[in-house]
Structure 1
Amino acid sequence: MSDLQVVGGIKKLNHQNYNTWETCMTSYMQGQDLWEVVNGSEVMQPEAEDANGTLRKWKIKAGKAMFALKTTIEEDVLEHIQGAKTPKEAWGTLAMLFSKKNDTRLQLLAKRAVVDNATGFVAAVQGWPNQPSLVEFENLLTSQEAMAKQMGGVSLKGEEEALYANKSRGNSKQHTTNGSKRNHDKEKGHQGEKSFHLGEASKNHGNNKKI
């Protein structure tokens, strides 16, 4: 019996799909005329049988509802409702179980948003007219985190490129300065040599004149 073999095509309840399962099971129970014993006006077992066979009819409907519930949930979830006496009790137990799980999960998501500096995004989502489901919200938060990381990478890359450009300009400026200084020193050297030669020539000319 595969994990996907279900009543009315409904995938078995696990720890991830309660909202979907609950919606499908509600429709299934209503279609099978079982909803009244699950969460309607016939949730309480009649105290005694009457001429119309009310107790017998209720037990039949309750048995069908319990069978539908127990065969559309995974074994590790089934243990939570094994002691339930009525469909109402089983249904309520599952609702409470997964409501607590969702509350805990929502708290973890809220903490995750604070850590990832996504509180502004969360506030924006809370202002939407149609609120996303918990799964949809988690997917949105994950997408937001991925986008933030991507933008952070682009920003970092831009800063690195700017730093490299500034460093290159600094090296170029230093090279130009050093080159100018070398040219200046070279020119100064030429001027010194020229002055030296002129001095020697003037001295020789004076000596020749004395002779």
Structure 2
Amino acid sequence: MVDFLSPVNGMEKLNDFNYNNWSTRMQYYLLGQDLWDIVGGNNTTPPTNDSDLRKWNVKSGKALYVLVVIVDDELLQHIKSAKTPKEAWDNLATLFARTNDAKLQCLENELLSISQQSMTVSQYFSKVKSICEEISKLDPQNAISETRMRRIIIHGLRPEYNGIVTATRGWANEPTLTELENILANQEALDKQIPKVSIKEDESAIFSNKRGFKGQNRNIVGARDGKPWKNHGDWRRQPDKKGY
């Protein structure tokens, strides 16, 4: 029995989030152990003659044991009363079909309403990719392609990136999703630098104006009749013609 279960020991148990991957691994494991035929193949019904029935019962016991061992405790209630491996397998498939449908609907609703808002370009791309990958796992037959993912991302971008997206559409070869992310991320980094440059320029202008204003004050203080004294440093000692 140890040799029989050794490949299963390193396998992740079925939980609320991994049914698709788990069921794929289990199917290949059961095929390798010549047990899939009584779980989901052509030999799921117990035979009528005693000789074949004994063999079938041995295989059925092994398959049921594997399913019990490789399922989390919280899920045992869904298969503990099953009489055959097929019944246990179908119970799990039905359970997660309902669960996946509900989760899938939530993910699709989130994807339809997603937009960049305050997220950075990198965060936004990662968010959309994560949701699309999760949907593809739950519904492999309708996996989201990169083309559709690209459309979803572009639709939710902030308006300041519309010009860049429009420009890329005129290229001979449109950028891949990764290339588009890099282009937008570079623009985002550039946009963050521009305000800093403007602030520095404004500070320089203010400083220059202050210096000019001080110079004007000196001219005004040291002047008579709109004409500055030649000796600005000693203007108060320079009397005019009237003796003032």
2:242 maps to 1:200? yes
Distance 1:116 1:20, change over 3 A: same
Hey, what does 2:78 align to over in structure 1? 80
Hey, what does 2:32 align to over in structure 1? 31
Aligned to 2:241, the other structure's residue is in SS state helix
Unmatched 5+ stretches in structure 1: 132-146, 202-211
* Bigger Rg over Cα: 1
Distance 1:14 1:152, change over 3 A: farther
Please give the TM-score of this superposition, normalised by the length of structure 2: 0.55
Hey, what does 2:152 align to over in structure 1? none
Distance 1:84 1:76, change over 3 A: same
For residues 7 and 192 of structure 1, the distance between their equivalents in structure 2, rounded to whole angstroms, comes to 99
Identity score, percent:
29
| Larger relative contact order, structure 1 or 2 (CA cutoff 8 Å, min sep 6) | 1
Please give the TM-score of this superposition, normalised by the length of structure 1: 0.62
Paired letter, 1:91? W
Instruction: Note the C-alpha offset of 1:30.
Output: 1.1
Query: Could you tell me whether the CA contact under 8 Å between 1:8 and 1:28 is conserved in 2?
Result: no
Number of matched residues? 174
Distance 1:159 1:104, change over 3 A: farther
For residues 42 and 12 of structure 1, the distance between their equivalents in structure 2, rounded to whole angstroms, comes to 26
Structure 1 residues 145-164: aligned runs within 5 Å: 154=189, 157-158=192-193, 160-164=195-199
Distance 1:191 1:19, change over 3 A: same
Structure 1 residues 1-211: aligned runs within 5 Å: 7=8, 9-46=10-47, 49-50=48-49, 53-113=51-111, 114-117=113-116, 118=124, 126-128=144-146, 154=189, 157-158=192-193, 160-189=195-224, 191=227, 197=239, 199-200=241-242
75-84 or 163-172, which deviates more? 163-172
Unmatched 5+ stretches in structure 2: 1-5, 117-123, 133-142, 150-181, 231-237
